[in-house]
């Protein structure tokens, strides 16, 4: 999202800096942004399709040959078992790649129409609790208020490390600078985390917490606010919130004294945290992945919003505000009926372990068993789009062993890595500098309403398809056309016509009641450009496809290469932003509150002596930027962080190896002893574990690290959202190596 100024000399990137004139980022840049030249030039990056040969190696082929090979492996699966035997894995970069983000919905939607059941994504190792809570409480799965960083005077951050991640489901350039500004203007930043993170180190206060117990802390905060008469009931929320009193009543069993042992936070601190919040002028809570990917992810995420409501902070400047994106994401995940009678979960179940579907997905950890368990309905074809689940999925080893059992594995990916080495065909996309770029989903979490469009910097070989075309080609194949024969242009038209028909038939859109055919002819171009144009024109500043003259279009946005800044965060957006059946913020749902007994039982349970957690790193991006040499300088950073007291008790030495073991597996890893961990909790970065045979990642393979998901179990889940627990996994550690 940050604007770049790229210097090109003799056709090569000579340097990348933040663009000081960028309407959004005003010159800010994180280390990931500086790497696009390296990604472009990486000799390991795939530029032509690869096909696996009989002896297991890969052969470079023409695009025609690649399509024929996809047809050869995929068609028998579809003919014999139907599209129900196929699934799609939607990897993280899909959300950051214009072509993929614009058309992944076409693939998943059309394959679904052909009979595909659930699909998979890292969502269930990430933000699914947030999606569940957003759907039920605010009425849309990507609908949630974000902290008003620039006006709050008391920010409590739980389970997020924005100094490293740059903000997650919270888009803000220079987020670290903005956090520092809070304390500089006399406010407070409190970080609740088992680790004194890079963010905590800059904060006013670090509150260490036992992993998986944030919901207990938050209930205790809510109860204290109620007990002290500090619940705020501001006029702007009057009649706009349902269920606050019920939520407060549910907090009754969770007194600070009772949650203290489980959370590891003493009761006096919990009471003081509650009173600090209530005494602040503009308090707000923000939570992210450490709170989602834990035992009570949904309840904890829900309670963050409940407490924000109880503080009167929602939809108030300085509190939690609903962004107003200039373009709404056309991503497919939007529930078809989100403004109707509500949303249902568990409409169908997974074949092997019977996991209920949540927002059309099964837990990612189910994928392996759906492939390697024989029987009717087995998954035998996988389309993996910009994902590396062999590294990112809990139960990683079983998945690594299951993928070779697929009859058809097609990867749309730019590298031959731990996952794609199992593919029958790898179809590479263009480099980030060869394709146009615009963001969409993340404007929905942004601290300002901006819009930008970037043209490709470099031309690509003339025969290279965009990734969006690959998605449509496979969608066409799922619907019955041989892969080489799919008419991508016709598919694109069909998709856009379908979208327009829906928008015209839906109440309350800018096109309600208009003729879908006429709307279609008002649009020019093709592919992602046409979809972005549509999104802008139907957005809050748009020209409504001609009926609001002077309104924004892509053509106008293109005249502003530094982007357009349209508005700052505003309050008073409840009517526009909340789309629940009642139109109110709905705090109480059986799907969420039925999990409270499980949480209450947690208070009675002894804590395990050692719990494993995950962390991110500034110069990594999940698993896939480790092939960039400039990001890999310096010492091995795939280390197990251990508190000195634990290291002493376990006999571990700094910079020496140790074996970590869980019920799921064991790995040998380098130890780093540091008081930044709370005692009883250790931390491993995720995204490592390179060096596997058959991969083509020269730089990454020289610094392999270990895969923390060899340790994370598949069957330990946050119940309401089906999200994997990768924070708070009981483990055992001993010095030395196993082998
Ligand atoms: N540089 C960089 N940036 C990234 C990424 C990257 O890999 N590198 N990845 C991107 C992606 S895909 C995502 S989803 C975002 C995630 O962004 P963040 O949510 O900010 O992710 P993390 O940095 O992993 O921070 C999670 C924190 O939760 C803490 N934690 C663990 N267990 C618990 C618990 O039970 N309770 C509490 N309160 N805290 C706990 C961990 O110690 C850690 O500090 O970052 C994105 N940005
Ligand atoms: N233990 C543990 N596990 C975790 C997490 C954790 O905190 N702890 N975090 C989870 C989270 S939040 C996430 S988002 C996931 C990430 O999980 P994934 O999305 O599965 O993994 P990534 O490492 O992001 O892999 C991205 C893939 O996209 C490819 N790629 C990169 N750029 C492009 C492109 O432009 N086009 C195409 N077609 N391909 C491209 C890369 O080669 C790589 O294969 O991991 C999850 N797993
Ligand atoms: Mo993520």
Q: Write out pLDDT tens, residues 4-56.
A: 999 999 999 999 999 999 999 999 998 888 899 999 999 999 999 999 999 99
Ligand 2 pocket mutation, candidates 91, 439, 711, criterion most atoms within 8 A of CB: 91
The per-residue pLDDT for 607 is 86
Identical fold, 35-117+363-432+459-486 and 609-735: no
Please compute, for residue 374, the number of CA atoms within 13 A of its CA located in the half-sphere on the CB side: 0
Instruction: Say yes or no: CB of residue 388 within 6 Å of ligand 1.
Output: no
Q: How far is the CA of 387 from the centre of ligand 2 (A)?
A: 5
The per-residue pLDDT for 332 is 34
The per-residue pLDDT for 33 is 85
What pTM value is reported for the model? 0.97
The closest of 670, 657, 661 to 736, measured between CA atoms, is 657
Q: Is the pLDDT of residue 335 over 60?
A: no
Range with lowest mean pLDDT among 18-27, 130-139, 432-441, 507-516? 507-516
- Of residues 474 and 506, more confidently modeled: 474
Q: Is the pLDDT of residue 604 over 90?
A: yes
Q: How far is the CA of 33 from the centre of ligand 1 (A)?
A: 19
Determine the distance from the C-alpha atom of residue 166 to the mean position of all C-alpha atoms in its chain, rounded to a whole number: 13
Arithmetic mean of pLDDT, 402-428: 98
Arithmetic mean of pLDDT, 559-574: 97
Please report, rounded to a whole number, the percentage of residues in the chain having pLDDT higher than 90.
92
* 476 CB-near residues (< 8 Å, 6+ apart): 110, 483, 486, 487, 488, 491
Q: Which atom of ligand 2 is nearest to the CA of 96?
A: 35
* 79 CB-near residues (< 8 Å, 6+ apart): none
Arithmetic mean of pLDDT, 648-658: 97
Q: Is the pLDDT of residue 526 over 80?
A: yes
Q: How far is the CA of 289 from the centre of ligand 1 (A)?
A: 5
Domain 609-735 has CATH 3.40.190.80: no
Cα(531)–Cα(529) distance, integer angstroms:
5
The per-residue pLDDT for 338 is 43
Residues with CB under 6 A from ligand 2: 91-93, 97, 122, 125-126, 289, 386-389, 392, 412-415, 417, 419, 429, 467, 614, 622-624, 686-687, 708-709, 712, 726
The CATH class that applies to domain 35-117+363-432+459-486 reads alpha beta
- Of residues 388 and 340, more confidently modeled: 388
Q: Is the pLDDT of residue 590 over 80?
A: yes
The per-residue pLDDT for 334 is 42
Arithmetic mean of pLDDT, 442-471: 96
Instruction: Say yes or no: CB of residue 717 within 6 Å of ligand 1.
Output: no
The closest of 198, 118, 134, 138 to 164, measured between CA atoms, is 198
Q: Which atom of ligand 2 is nearest to the CA of 388?
A: 20
- Of residues 564 and 539, more confidently modeled: 564
Which ligand places an atom closest to the C-alpha of 683? 1
Q: Which helix (H) or strand (E) holds 666?
A: strand 666-673
Which ligand places an atom closest to the C-alpha of 165? 1
pLDDT tens string 688-728: 999 999 999 999 999 999 999 999 999 999 999 999 999 99
Arithmetic mean of pLDDT, 599-610: 94
The closest of 287, 293, 335, 325 to 308, measured between CA atoms, is 287
Backbone angles phi, psi at 691, to 5 degrees: 80, 15
Q: Which atom of ligand 1 is nearest to the CA of 92?
A: 12
Q: Which atom of ligand 1 is nearest to the CA of 622?
A: 7
Confidence of residue 195 (pLDDT cuts 50, 70, 90): very high
Which ligand places an atom closest to the C-alpha of 216? 1
Is the Cβ–Cβ distance between 151 and 570 less than 8 Å? no
Length of the chain equals 739
The per-residue pLDDT for 30 is 86
Q: How far is the CA of 191 from the centre of ligand 1 (A)?
A: 13
Arithmetic mean of pLDDT, 556-580: 96
Q: Where are the domains of the chain?
A: 4-32, 35-117+363-432+459-486, 128-323+573-598, 609-735
The per-residue pLDDT for 342 is 65
The per-residue pLDDT for 579 is 87
128-323+573-598 topology per CATH: Dimethylsulfoxide Reductase; domain 2 (3.40.228)
Q: Which atom of ligand 2 is nearest to the CA of 726?
A: 1
Range with lowest mean pLDDT among 100-114, 204-218, 317-331? 317-331
pLDDT tens string 120-177: 999 999 999 999 999 999 998 999 999 999 999 999 999 999 999 999 999 999 999 9
Cα(602)–Cα(625) distance, integer angstroms:
38
Q: Is the pLDDT of residue 57 over 50?
A: yes
Confidence of residue 344 (pLDDT cuts 50, 70, 90): confident
Arithmetic mean of pLDDT, 264-270: 98
* pLDDT, averaged across the chain: 95
């Amino acid at each position: 999202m940050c604007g770049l100024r790229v210097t090109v000399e003799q056709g090569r990137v000579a340097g990348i800096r933040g663009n000081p004139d960028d309407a959004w980022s005003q010159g800010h840049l994180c280390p990931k942004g500086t790497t696009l030249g390296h990604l472009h030039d990486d000799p390991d990056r795939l530029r032509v399709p690869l096909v696996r040969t009989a002896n297991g190696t890969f052969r470079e082929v023409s695009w025609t040959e690649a399509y024929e090979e996809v047809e050869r492996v995929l068609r028998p699966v579809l003919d014999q078992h139907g599209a129900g035997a196929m699934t799609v894995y939607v990897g993280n970069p899909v959300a950051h790649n214009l072509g993929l983000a614009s058309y992944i919905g076409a693939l998943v939607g059309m394959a679904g129409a052909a009979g595909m059941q659930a699909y998979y994504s890292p969502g269930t190792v990430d933000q699914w609790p947030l999606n569940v809570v957003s759907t039920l409480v605010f009425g849309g799965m990507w609908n949630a208020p974000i902290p008003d960083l620039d006006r709050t005077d008391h920010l409590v951050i739980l389970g997020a490390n924005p100094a490293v991640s740059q903000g997650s489901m919270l888009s803000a350039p220079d987020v670290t600078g903005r956090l520092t500004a809070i304390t500089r203007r006399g406010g407070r930043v409190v970080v609740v985390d088992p680790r004194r993170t890079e963010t905590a180190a800059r904060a006013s206060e670090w509150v260490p917490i036992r992993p998986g117990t944030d919901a207990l802390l938050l209930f205790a905060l809510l109860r204290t606010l109620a007990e002290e008469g500090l619940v705020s009931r501001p006029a702007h929320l009057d009649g706009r919130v349902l269920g606050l009193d019920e939520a407060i009543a549910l907090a009754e069993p969770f007194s600070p004294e009772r949650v203290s042992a489980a959370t590891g936070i003493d009761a006096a601190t919990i009471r003081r945290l509650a009173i600090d919040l209530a005494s602040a002028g503009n308090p707000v809570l923000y939570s992210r992945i450490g709170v989602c990917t834990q035992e009570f992810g949904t309840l904890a995420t829900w309670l963050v919003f409940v407490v924000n409501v109880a503080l009167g902070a929602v939809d108030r400047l300085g509190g939690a505000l609903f962004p107003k994106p200039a373009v709404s994401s056309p991503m497919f995940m939007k529930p078809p009926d989100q403004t109707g009678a509500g949303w249902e979960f568990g409409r169908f179940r997974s074949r092997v372990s019977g996991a209920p579907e949540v927002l059309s997905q099964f837990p990612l950890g189910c994928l392996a068993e759906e492939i390697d368990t024989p029987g009717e309905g087995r998954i035998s074809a996988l389309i993996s789009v910009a994902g590396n689940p062999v590294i990112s999925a809990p139960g990683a080893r079983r998945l690594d062993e299951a993928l070779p059992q697929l009859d058809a594995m097609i990867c749309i990916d730019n590298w031959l890595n731990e996952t794609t080495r199992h593919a029958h065909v790898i179809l590479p996309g263009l480099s980030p500098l060869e394709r146009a770029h615009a963001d969409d989903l993340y404007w929905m979490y942004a601290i300002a309403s901006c819009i930008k469009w970037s043209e490709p910097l470099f031309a690509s070989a003339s025969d290279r398809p965009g990734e969006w075309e690959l998605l449509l080609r496979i969608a066409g194949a799922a619907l019955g056309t041989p892969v080489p024969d799919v008419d991508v242009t016709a598919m694109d038209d069909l998709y856009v016509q379908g979208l327009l028909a829906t928008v015209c038939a839906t109440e309350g859109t800018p096109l309600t009641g208009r003729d879908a055919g006429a709307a279609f002819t008002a649009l020019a171009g093709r592919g992602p450009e046409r979809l972005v144009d549509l999104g802008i024109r139907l957005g809050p500043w748009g020209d409504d496809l001609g009926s609001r003259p002077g309104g924004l279009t892509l053509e106008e946005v293109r005249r502003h290469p530094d982007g357009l800044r349209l508005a700052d965060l505003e309050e008073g957006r409840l009517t526009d932003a909340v789309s629940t059946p009642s139109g109110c913020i709905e705090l109480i749902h059986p799907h969420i509150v039925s999990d409270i007994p499980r949480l209450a039982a947690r208070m009675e349970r002894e804590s395990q002596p050692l719990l494993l957690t995950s962390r991110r790193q500034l110069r990594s991006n999940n698993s896939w930027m480790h092939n960039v040499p400039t990001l890999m300088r310096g010492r091995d950073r795939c280390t197990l962080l251990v508190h000195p007291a634990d290291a002493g008790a376990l006999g571990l030495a700094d910079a020496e190896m140790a074996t970590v073991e869980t019920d799921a597996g064991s790995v040998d890893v380098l130890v780093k002893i540091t008081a930044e961990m709370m005692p009883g909790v250790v931390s491993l970065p995720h995204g490592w574990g390179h060096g596997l045979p058959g991969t083509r990642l020269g730089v990454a393979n020289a610094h392999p690290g270990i895969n923390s998901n060899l340790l994370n179990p598949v069957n330990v889940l946050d119940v309401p959202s089906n999200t994997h627990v990768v924070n708070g996994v009981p483990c055992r550690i001993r010095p030395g190596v196993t082998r």
